[in-house]
Structure 1
Amino acid sequence: MTRIRIALVSDIHGNLPALEAVHADLRRRGADLVVNLGDSLSGPLLARETAQFLQAQGWPAVAGNHDRNLIEQSPAQLAPPDACAHAQLGAQELAWLRTLPATLREADLFFCHATPQHNCSYLLETVLPGGAVRLASPSEIAQRLGAERAAFVACGHTHLPRAVRTAAGQWIVNPGSVGLPAFEDDSPCLHRIETGSPDARYALAERTARGWSVALISVPYDHRPMAQLARSRGFADWAVALETGYMGP
């Protein structure tokens, strides 16, 4: 069995300083492959600069739901975080987004943004009526995987770092969010995702003769300028999330 070490990044959301901190940390630790699981630019931060940084790295990447919004919706249709990012992007950055596939596969490795079938569904989390969020059950995960039988599945979207091994032996890894440690959403009902710290997150997964080992890594960085930038652009909720890893009290 070939030994391989994979770094997984996801949900950067235009937070270039967080991405730079992750990049420095993963270079120190070493990786054979870095894969970006999407939602790279959306938000009131540094969309254009983040796109240029990612293009320079040349990492394999998939398109997240917000990436698709940026290229499929008109500026007037976009939600405020997407609209703020779109206003910063030029033709080159938008063209790069259009090249990103929905999923990637390499032998027994499968990479997606959310689930194998959808880019806007939770794979490892379930939202309960009333807004509580829990780890998805084995049967829920199996249903959401569908026919996907890859030995290693990587996903993002929920911003929550998790590593789950199914009864069938499949590893499913969500590296968490590089750039946005908390958010609020109203689908399927109003709920919060909160990691409880402002740190940038990513994952390292290593396959050896004994199988996979997974490290979920939290990287501190100076988050204050990004919080100040979000606040200056009218996104006080993003500022709180960037400062604390929570959406509020």
Structure 2
Amino acid sequence: MKFAILADIHGNSAALEAVLSDMDDLGISEAVNLGDHMSGPLDAHKTAEMLIPLNFPSIQGNHDRWLVEQNPSDMSPSDKVAYDQLKPHHLDWLRTLPATMLVHDEVFLCHATPQNDLDYWLEHIDDDGSISSASLQEIEQKAEGIEASLILCGHTHKPRLIRLSDGRLVLNPGSVGSPGYESDYPVYHEMQTGNPNASYAIAEKSGTEWLITFRSVPYDTTRMVEMAKENDRPDWARAVKTGWVTE
């Protein structure tokens, strides 16, 4: 069993193309997708047209949920740009996606945590906006009741792998299309990887163990940077180009 793990594409069609090409070079045709597929001031339409026909097992992220639940007039600027590009059948696809999923009988998919699509699982946001790692006890509490040997999450855009005390793995593959962002939830903070590459991971079952490979794929960010600028999002342009929200 071998498959790719994608998350947080955020409408970056160029990054998605790079990841799919890298998968093809490695002979990997199967993947799972952890949500936040299209939202962003980039190329939601092309991303949807590329992604949906692939039929990867996919779940709904918080931005996917907002795209189908919110009134367009109440949407954030990034969600509204994506919404205006998407066709009814794209939104219908997002509506069909579950919040969590079990695949291959032992791989659990969620966007942020099993309980909530907004909370951070492997990190803390402190009151002053600083970011720290969650403790093993805190991570394990949110994994209670999940019998899968491999537990997948996204949302923070940070590639990480944690082994729980019982041997289960919790993996975040990083973000395909958004290497840095700002958020006001629960307080203002900046999440940034410091490099512009498209991130994803590969999982391979070998006997009773999982072999995990993190991939960091360079690609030409020019078109995505220009789209962000055209949509009045210099913060997105900077993050896509450099991996930093602030320089």
| Other-structure match for 1:19 | 16
| Other-structure match for 1:184 | 182
* 8 A Cα contact 2:23 2:29, kept in partner: no
| Other-structure match for 1:112 | 110
| Other-structure match for 1:96 | 93
| Other-structure match for 2:193 | 195
* 8 A Cα contact 1:109 1:152, kept in partner: yes
Decide whether aligned partners of structure 1 residues 169 and 32 sit closer, same or farther in structure 2, where only a CA change above 3 A counts. farther
- Using the TM superposition, give the Cα deviation of residue 187 of structure 1 relative to its aligned residue in structure 2, in angstroms: 1.5
Distance 1:121 1:219 in 2: 27
| Other-structure match for 1:232 | 230
Counting only pairs closer than 5 Å after superposition, residues 112-131 of structure 1 correspond to structure 2 as 112-131=110-129
Counting only pairs closer than 5 Å after superposition, residues 26-105 of structure 1 correspond to structure 2 as 26-31=23-28, 33-105=30-102
Q: Match of 1:76, SS?
A: helix
Runs of 4+ residues deviating >4 angstroms: none
- Using the TM superposition, give the Cα deviation of residue 49 of structure 1 relative to its aligned residue in structure 2, in angstroms: 1.0
Decide whether aligned partners of structure 1 residues 175 and 191 sit closer, same or farther in structure 2, where only a CA change above 3 A counts. same
* 8 A Cα contact 1:5 1:32, kept in partner: no
Distance 2:141 2:155 in 1: 18
Q: Deviations over 1:1-21 (max 9, x none)?
A: xxx112000000000010000
Distance 2:211 2:142 in 1: 23
| Percent identical | 44
| Other-structure match for 1:138 | 136
Q: TM-score, normalised by structure 1?
A: 0.96
| Other-structure match for 2:7 | 10
- Using the TM superposition, give the Cα deviation of residue 30 of structure 1 relative to its aligned residue in structure 2, in angstroms: 2.7
Question: Any stretches of 5+ residues in structure 2 without a counterpart?
Answer: none
Distance 1:31 1:103 in 2: 23
Q: Deviations over 1:29-65 (max 9, x none)?
A: 1336300100000011111111111112111100000
| Other-structure match for 2:202 | 204
